[in-house]
A and B are shown apart, each in its own frame.
Chain A
Amino acid sequence: MGYVPVKGGTQAIEASIKRLTYERLKGEEILEINTILATMGSMIDQVMSESSLYSPELAALAIKQGEGSLEEAVFLMRAHRSTLPRHYYSETVEAETMLVERRISASFKDIPGGQLLGATYDYTHRLLDFGLLEESMETNRRWLEDYKDNFSAIQGSKEVVYFPKVVDYLREEGLFETYKPDNTAPTDVTKKSLQFPTTRSARLQVMTRGQTGAVTSFGYASLRGYGQVHPTVGEVRVGKIPIYTIHPNEVNQEPEDQFYIGEIRITEVESFVPVTVKNDNNKDELEFEIGYGACYGQNETKAIAMSILDQCLEHPNTDFPTHDEEFVLLHIDSVESTGFISHLKLPHYVTFQSKLDSIRQVKKEVQEVEN
């Protein structure tokens, strides 16, 4: 029945979904979740970070289901997140408790504890490795054995080594102000929508779950001239941090009663940003402030860009959009931006009809006046 142009939606949708399944299956290959977990670490990190749900397994599933589309994977994870009740919050995490895998400073060569490169693409040459076209498990195993053999001669430390923060050293010199710890409970942006002007805790939450590309671009814009923050990376660290909670119903809340519930791997960045402050004699003086960035997994570009934006938003300035919290925070969410852009694909028959009518009426009016 050619009744309405949009009639037959049910069948059309079913056919479209079938076609989608066909496209995924027609190559007759199955991508195992374990393969994604073992070889697509950066992608998993990015999905977990943008969806703000820390679960490598679910992220791998989302990547598989979304056929490698990050937008789709993040979307799936966020929708899943909405079905999970929030029962409790963890205790405050101190980044000094991180088991550091990588930690560098661009500010000092000789940082206490030393620079630790860890695993990074930074010094690789970006040449396509055609050897990967035909990789054999046999060769890979041999490589792994050789690699491990090299370590047999090295004596490891018996104790776990924690790395001090680079900034602590500068604080002692009085280059950074020492603030009292602010233990106000942070606002939870998933429980209460953003109200402006907002708090730093809310800003950091929105930025850490921001789309990697968007956060990077805005940070870059600020650095390039559409902003007033010129940071030096004080410290980038990547590693695992233990998470503890307290019993929700326990009255005595001693530190030793906390429960260890697991660990998360994060990237944390502290950027040093020079700012002008007035001293006691009302003279201008330079001091450093910290721009803070942190995100799930290893995503250093995003965390550094976030640290720039954090400082930008700490100093509102109407001259630059990167210093405007509404501009930055309301436009970096992957699910929100991709959703609203894609909604343009929905039919707009009524609204367009209304617009047509409006334009026709105006035209008619103009003609009448001219006649």
Chain B
Amino acid sequence: MRTNTHFAFFDEGSKKEIRRATLKAVAIPGYQVPFASREMPIARGWGTGGLQLTLSLIGKTDVLKVIDQGADESVNAVSIKKLVQETTGVQVTDQTEEADLIQSRHRIPEIPLTKDQILVLQVPMPEPLRPVEAREYATKRMHSEDDYSGAWLMLFEQIVKYGKTATAADHPVYVNGRYVMAPSPIPRFDNPKMHQSEALILLGAGREKKIYAVPPYTAVESLAFEDYPFAVESFEGQECRLCGSAHVFLDELIDQKTGETVYQCNDTSYCMEQLNSTEKAEVESSYA
């Protein structure tokens, strides 16, 4: 009855099944491929889709990075990293450039990804049409008939109600001019990073049992109207209080002592790198 855990948790048959679904997803950009999602040692909704992709892809020489809402040290990222490492023994890293497999919840790293990397995004709700239609049978049909009036109408209604589109994270995108896709709850700020990405982007929804993909160099457009263009979150005039970066996604924090609102990089490893490079430059200049 006692069993040892297999390399990367799954038996090889399960990995193959997941890889087959992944290949299909790559072949049809933005199309949600159903797969027999397994129950994982972490809870449904905590990244089981991403984890299944990661475990089906990971090899002994891979270097893994896991981030949760921008942070490598966030508790759930740590928990996932620990699970993968315990079942595979692979090397893990915080450095975005060092990793060849990056599993992320709700952020795309600030440093542009390369063709040698795969980004795995965790997805809670893979169906972009779910807010307009509850039934899977109906939304599947809408996708096949290229009927996205519901998605457009949703944006239009927001304009009528609020004078502008009021989407938060998970703003729907058109992939390769065909499928409307939920980019996972990444902020709108990260949507443009998907467009013509050099890295393969895989999206896994464990509970909803779907895998989909944005292959490298694929057109990804955020849904918007000509007169109401797509806009990312605004951090105008703000910069990171630690590294001074602007034009990155910032966390809004309250300084415990002064009670003031302060900002800092949401991508923690990016911030660290900026800090290190500044420090290095300072040290070098002081020697000079």
CB of B65 within 8 A of chain A?
A: no
Contacts A82-B9, A353-B251 given; does A342 touch B135 at CB 8 Å: no
* Contact A355–B73 (Cβ < 8 Å): no
List chain B residues, Cβ under 8 A from A355.
Answer: 168-169
* Contact B43–A82 (Cβ < 8 Å): no
Interface mask (B239-258 → A, CB under 8 Å = 1, otherwise 0): 00010000001011100000
List chain A residues, Cβ under 8 A from B69.
Answer: 347-351
Contacts A83-B9, A355-B169 given; does A350 touch B39 at CB 8 Å: no
List chain A residues, Cβ under 8 A from B212.
Answer: none
* Contact B163–A365 (Cβ < 8 Å): yes
* Contact A350–B44 (Cβ < 8 Å): no
Interface residues on A, range: 35 or more
Tell me, in angstroms, the Cα distance from A189 to B39 when the chains sit together: 12
Within the complex, the shortest CB–CB distance from A55 to chain B, in Å, comes to: 8
Interface mask (A65-103 → B, CB under 8 Å = 1, otherwise 0): 000000000010011011111100000000000000000
List chain A residues, Cβ under 8 A from B188.
Answer: 354
* Contact A4–B71 (Cβ < 8 Å): yes
Instruction: Tell me whether chain B's interface is mostly helix, strand or loop, or mixed.
Output: loop
Tell me, in angstroms, the Cα distance from A288 to B5 when the chains sit together: 50
Partner of A350, one of B17, B107, B137: B107
Q: Interface stretch among A5-13, A211-219, A226-234, A245-253? A: A5-13
Within the complex, the shortest CB–CB distance from B156 to chain A, in Å, comes to: 15
With contacts defined as CB atoms under 8 Å apart, how many contacts are there between chain A and chain B in the complex?
180
Partner of A346, one of B11, B17, B76, B264: B76
CB of B79 within 8 A of chain A?
A: yes
Tell me, in angstroms, the Cα distance from A86 to B13 when the chains sit together: 9
* Contact B249–A350 (Cβ < 8 Å): yes
Residue of A nearest to B165 (CB): A358
Q: Interface stretch among B29-37, B110-118, B213-221? A: B29-37
Within the complex, the shortest CB–CB distance from A54 to chain B, in Å, comes to: 13
Within the complex, the shortest CB–CB distance from B190 to chain A, in Å, comes to: 9
Q: Interface stretch among A120-128, A134-142, A174-182, A193-201? A: A193-201
Partner of B73, one of A10, A75, A193: A10
Residue of A nearest to B135 (CB): A326
Within the complex, the shortest CB–CB distance from A63 to chain B, in Å, comes to: 15
* Contact A351–B168 (Cβ < 8 Å): yes
* Contact A83–B164 (Cβ < 8 Å): no
Residue of B nearest to A357 (CB): B233
* Contact A343–B45 (Cβ < 8 Å): yes
Within the complex, the shortest CB–CB distance from A9 to chain B, in Å, comes to: 4
CB of B166 within 8 A of chain A?
A: yes
* Contact A82–B14 (Cβ < 8 Å): yes
CB of A3 within 8 A of chain B?
A: yes
List chain A residues, Cβ under 8 A from B34.
Answer: 192-193, 195
CB of A38 within 8 A of chain B?
A: no
Contacts A6-B73, A354-B168 given; does A326 touch B136 at CB 8 Å: yes
Within the complex, the shortest CB–CB distance from A371 to chain B, in Å, comes to: 13
Tell me, in angstroms, the Cα distance from A359 to B234 when the chains sit together: 12
CB of A336 within 8 A of chain B?
A: yes
Binding site for A on B (CB under 8 A): 1, 3, 5-6, 9-11, 13-14, 17, 34-41, 43-46, 48, 68-71, 73-79, 82, 105-107, 124, 134-137, 140, 162-164, 166-170, 185-189, 207, 209-210, 231, 233-234, 242, 249, 251-253, 264, 266, 268, 272
Inter-chain pairs besides A4-B264, A349-B266, A358-B166, 7 sampled, C-beta below 8 Å = A7-B268, A192-B34, A193-B34, A339-B44, A343-B43, A350-B186, A357-B234
A-B pairs with the 3 shortest C-beta distances? A339-B44, A343-B45, A78-B39
In the assembled complex, 19 residue pairs joining A and B whose CB atoms fall closer than 8 Å, in A order, are: A4-B251, A9-B73, A13-B78, A79-B40, A81-B39, A82-B14, A84-B11, A193-B210, A339-B44, A341-B45, A350-B69, A350-B187, A351-B169, A353-B249, A354-B185, A361-B234, A362-B166, A365-B163, A366-B163
